């Protein structure tokens, strides 16, 4: 008969860690997506004077491992005496990390819109803003959604690295319980199930949007 020392309070502790994971992910993805949209438009539309420095800056966040970014970000804010709590530091670093990848997703989505379609809209007298809002954006979103869903899921899993800054998110909470109860397989199994439960709706949302838009291809 299976026996465990895990209590309901321990499960509640894991639930609190899951909420922290969701909070970090939500803030980082929202801020990173907003920056990614702006940076993506600049990367596609602006000349090399703006595009190349921006590309170099974002390549840093795509090239350097996230753990190193978190450690350096925490060290820099400490040196600058900003006094940020670990949650703020984690969100700032993860937001820039998300923006670096989201920028290329947005740029690729805009580039996927046929040039002839954009020329036709401009020939009808649309301004650049009207063209981007009514023609380019709807088509680019359809192309970009699958990659954006994948990025969101990736950021949620990568947020486990914020434990190095002292945040007790889901993985850190499970590690604390493993150390105390000495039941690693069972506790990590529960941790994995919780990750699946919070990831599944996001993945299904992407599938739903793809099915909804597919009849209009």
pLDDT at site 71: 92
Closest CA to 16 of 174, 155, 154: 174
- Find out whether 170 and 17 touch, Cβ atoms under 8 Å: yes
3-state secondary structure of 127: coil
Q: For residue 104, which phi and psi values (nearest 5 degrees)?
A: -70, -30
Question: Distance of CA 24 to CAs 53, 107, 151, 166, Å?
Answer: 28, 25, 14, 13
Contact 21, 160 (CB under 8 A): yes
Mean pLDDT of 122-133: 79
User: Domain spanning 8-216: which CATH class is it, in words?
Assistant: mainly alpha
Residue 195 has pLDDT above 80, yes or no: yes
Contact 41, 106 (CB under 8 A): yes
pLDDT(138) > 50 = yes
Band of residue 214 on the pLDDT scale cut at 50, 70, 90: low
Q: What is the mean pLDDT of the chain?
A: 86
7 SS3 class: coil
What confidence category does residue 215 fall into, taking pLDDT thresholds of 50, 70 and 90? very low
pLDDT digits (tens, 9 = 90+) for 2-53: 677 778 888 899 999 999 999 999 999 999 999 999 999 888 887 677 778 8
DSSP state of 197: H
């Amino acid at each position: 008969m299976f026996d465990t020392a895990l209590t309901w309070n321990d499960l509640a502790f894991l639930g609190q860690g899951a909420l922290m994971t969701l909070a970090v992910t939500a803030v980082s993805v929202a801020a990173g997506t907003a920056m990614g949209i702006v940076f993506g438009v600049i990367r596609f539309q602006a000349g090399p004077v703006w595009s190349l420095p921006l590309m170099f800056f974002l390549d840093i966040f795509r090239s350097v491992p996230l753990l190193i970014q978190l450690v350096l970000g925490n060290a820099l804010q400490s040196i600058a005496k900003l006094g940020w709590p670990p949650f703020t530091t984690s969100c700032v670093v993860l937001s820039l990390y998300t923006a670096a990848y989201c920028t290329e997703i947005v740029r690729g989505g805009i580039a996927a819109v046929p040039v002839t379609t954009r020329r036709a809209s401009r020939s009808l007298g649309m301004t650049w803003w009207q063209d981007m809002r009514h023609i380019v954006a709807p088509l680019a979103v359809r192309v970009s959604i699958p990659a954006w869903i994948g990025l969101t899921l990736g950021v949620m899993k990568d947020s486990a690295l914020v434990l190095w800054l002292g945040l007790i998110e889901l993985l850190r909470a499970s590690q604390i319980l493993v150390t105390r109860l000495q039941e690693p397989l069972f506790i990590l199994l529960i941790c994995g199930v919780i990750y699946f439960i919070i990831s599944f709706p996001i993945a299904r949302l992407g599938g739903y949007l793809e099915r909804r838009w597919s009849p209009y291809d």
